[in-house]
Amino acid sequence: MMFPRKIYEEEHLMFKSAFEDFVNKEILPYNLKWEKDQMVSKESWQKLGENGYLVMQAPEKYGGLGLDDFRYNAVFTEVLGYSGCAGPAVGYPLHSDIVAPYILHYGTDALKDRLIPKAISGEAILAVAMTEPGAGSDLQGMRTTAEDKGDHYLVNGSKTFITNGYLCDACVTAVKTDPTLGAKGISLLVIEEGMEGFTKGKPFEKVGLHAQDTCELFFDNVKVPKENLLGKTGEGFKYLMTELAQERLVVALGAVSAAEGVLKHTVEYTKERMAFGKSISKFQNTRFKLAELASEVAVARIFVDRCVELHNEKLLDGANASMAKYMTTELQCKVADECLQLYGGYGYIWEYQVARAYADARVQRIYAGTNEIMKELIARKVLK
């Protein structure tokens, strides 16, 4: 980062240093194995929990730290993104900052008492299931249904591309409680591991994010107790729209941090790589390319920092969150591509961090709402 940052205070920087040490000890050494396993280990979740890094905003009565300061969550996501360990960098923040808030904000006391302590300790891994084989960004087109049976709902359908899906112990699931009402017929249910009829597919073989256990979920007459309803029936779409601003900010934080990380590795590599008798960092093309990327990343970082400040003050709106997600994920892909080119043939070898950065970046423009949807949301604000 070339521009001085003023967003963090001393306590945030101390937290960052401690978490960097944790990542270097407990995540980086195991990432290649996790990529081969197609998932991070459950032990890694428990180590995060033991050190207080999961669902940090949860009240102390559940065993959380009660941190009403999103900057700690931002640091957590930044450090993971910068590390280049994309599977953990996606799955851990999703658990704490995207899924847990649904339960904390809309869950019944009984549900929170049962799940939040386990989510904090890492004993329970959380996922969110919105996308279906025939319904991605168009959530109103989903077909998974939940029929009211009095004391429970009967859920049928399937979800796909679910982050943390294979390991999840509890999944916030978007369902149609009234298929005739469109968006007003969508509700959110927490479906838990062990419920009869709830099954999972094997993790997908993906282009990138190899350490992420992304999979399909299947619901065949799954009985879900009424206490697992989040908020009110038919209010699910509204809850999703409310929480998506934070989700998109989390994606932006990971994207700009990943761009910073791969750029740093590339700067170091160009100083070491020799061509025509000198370091390639001495060639004008290399110098100008790195100057361009460093400038764009610095600008993106400043905007994302401002979004974090606004979010901390409860002032970040959906349009600005969409701008952050759109801009940073496009830039992440550009930086990874341009940096790979500077590595030459070695950039296409998996053991080099730039190769994994290139493969991992592409999906960022798709999930949490495609960047085409981000542009539509931004345009609505611009043209209002």
Q: Residue written as tokens 């970082």?
A: 301
Q: Which residues pair with 146 in a beta bridge?
A: 155
Query: In this structure, what is the dihedral angle of CA atoms 351, 353, 359, 360, given to the nearest 10 degrees?
Result: 130
Q: Give the SS3 label for residue 222.
A: strand
Report how far residue 380's alpha carbon sits from residue 5's, in angstroms, rounded to the nearest whole number: 31
Report how far residue 175's alpha carbon sits from residue 181's, in angstroms, rounded to the nearest whole number: 12
DSSP state letter for 183: G
| CA atoms lying within 13 Å on the CB side of residue 72 | 17
> CB-based burial of residue 361 (10 Å sphere; 0-12 exposed, 13-18 middle, 19+ buried)?
buried
Q: Residue written as tokens 């916030």?
A: 172
Q: Which positions ≥6 away from 315 have C-beta within 8 Å?
A: none
- Provide the residue type at 344 as one letter: G
Active site residue 247: yes
133-161 burial code (b ≥16 CB/10 A, e <16): eebbbebeebebbbeeeeebbebbbbbbb
Could you tell me how far CA 73 lies from the centroid of its own chain?
Answer: 12
- Single out the catalytic residue among 247, 272, 296, 309: 247
80 with 40: CB under 8 angstroms? no
Report how far residue 95's alpha carbon sits from residue 174's, in angstroms, rounded to the nearest whole number: 16
Residues assigned a catalytic role: 247
